[in-house]
Amino acid sequence: MKTKKVAIVGASGYSGEELVKLLLQHPHAELVAVTSRQYAGQTVAQVFPKFAHQPHARQLKFSEPNVDQLAQQAEVIFLALPHGVAAEFAVPLLKYGRQVIDLSADFRLRSAAIYKDFYAHDHPAPDLLASAVYGLPEVYREQIKSSALVASPGCYPTSILVPLIPLLKAGLIKAGGIIADSLSGVSGAGRKAELDYLFCECNESVRPYGVPKHRHLSEIEEQLSLAAGAPVVIQFTPHLIPVNRGILTTLYLAPAKHFSNAAELFTLTGQITECYQNAYGNEPFVRLLDNKRLPDTKNVVGTNVVEIAWRLDPRTGRLIVMSAEDNLVKGASGQAVQSLNILCGWPETAGLI
């Protein structure tokens, strides 16, 4: 299979590191450049000792980020940069005719106005929003195939959208009143020297944050609205828990049709089962648990899998859906590589199973 040369801009954070890991071992992608202002001149093995047993990590050096050079070196470029900064690279790289997979929030929204509402500054490249594809392969696989600019989804959004979209599309749940309660490992906060993320501040601690208006709501609601065919506003509460990796989301949903007896429960059970089976029965990275199991982040950490389980509660009439993922893999870098595989016509699981 034809290989492609790929590069990573901004590879020194946690998702950059995970992306390096995945691309170093990818069977078809050749990692030709990684950039970092801080680490320029050092090898990947020096910056990330855990990869030092891989020969390529001992040769490849971090370089200063330079658009012209990147455009010459690589065919596909990953951007693992803060929002706002990513666009500065995406715009010229696209002009060079390169394909860009952006892990930041810069191109995830279609609306520049919503971007401004949630990110508090004007969008740096509003013209590109229409052409960017939201890189959730389970929903946008066809569009990713021919896209020049893939906006890879956020970690919380992935954990919420994957379980919700099929239900909304099938009309099985009400679009109103959705609640998403999420728990995230500390790597989600990034590799930043802040007191809040010190070991002693996170260990033996659990806390909500960003209540009630977290930035990720913007892309979650835009995607849910597209699925529902009508505006969707949800309640979302993120919590920080003392694990390195993993997001567990619990969704509280109202079935579109009330069930009040065993027969209706049986029917709805069948419909939800079928809905998920149709949507994800053949998806390599969505694991539908049987009715005896519940998701557990330890079963997905280090993999590109989202686990999903659900229960109908006859006492309350609600549908509870739970998902688990690795925030750095399916929630970030693994999903970006999944998009790469689709873009390049490689098997979608290449380098991920």
| Footprint (CB under 8 A) of its own copies, residues 251-280 | 252
Span 13-72, contacts to its own copies by CB under 8 A:
14, 25, 49-50, 52-54
Element (H, E) at 44: helix 44-47
User: Is residue 186 close enough to count as binding its own copies by CB under 8 A?
Assistant: yes
Distance CA 41, CA 64 (A): 8
Quick count: other Cβ atoms within 10 Å of Cβ 49?
Answer: 10
Are residues 112 and 122 in contact, defined by beta-carbon separation less than 8 angstroms? yes
Q: How far is the CB of 125 from its own copies (least distance, A)?
A: 27
From residue 112, give the alpha-carbon distance in Å to each of 129, 185, 219, 318.
Answer: 8, 30, 12, 35
Which residue of 74, 155, 164, 248 would you call a contact of its own copies, by CB under 8 A?
248
Name which of 84 and 302 has its Cβ closer to its own copies: 302
Identify any residues that bridge with 102 across adjacent strands, giving them in sequence order: 79, 151
Sole window of 1-9, 67-75, 161-169, 209-217 interacting with its own copies (rule: CB under 8 A):
209-217
Sole window of 108-116, 163-171, 194-202, 257-265 interacting with its own copies (rule: CB under 8 A):
194-202
User: Is residue 113 close enough to count as binding its own copies by CB under 8 A?
Assistant: no
Quick count: other Cβ atoms within 10 Å of Cβ 199?
Answer: 8
Which residue of 187, 223, 327, 338 would you call a contact of its own copies, by CB under 8 A?
187
Q: What secondary structure letter does DSSP report for 330?
A: I
Which residue of 146, 199, 262, 282 would you call a contact of its own copies, by CB under 8 A?
199
Span 280-339, contacts to its own copies by CB under 8 A:
284-285, 287, 289, 293-305, 307, 311, 313, 315-316, 318, 320, 322, 324
User: Is residue 225 close enough to count as binding its own copies by CB under 8 A?
Assistant: no
Distance CA 182, CA 323 (A): 9
Write the CB contacts of 39 (distance below 8 Å, at least 6 apart in sequence): 12, 46, 47, 62
Name which of 209 and 266 has its Cβ closer to its own copies: 209
User: Is residue 241 close enough to count as binding its own copies by CB under 8 A?
Assistant: yes
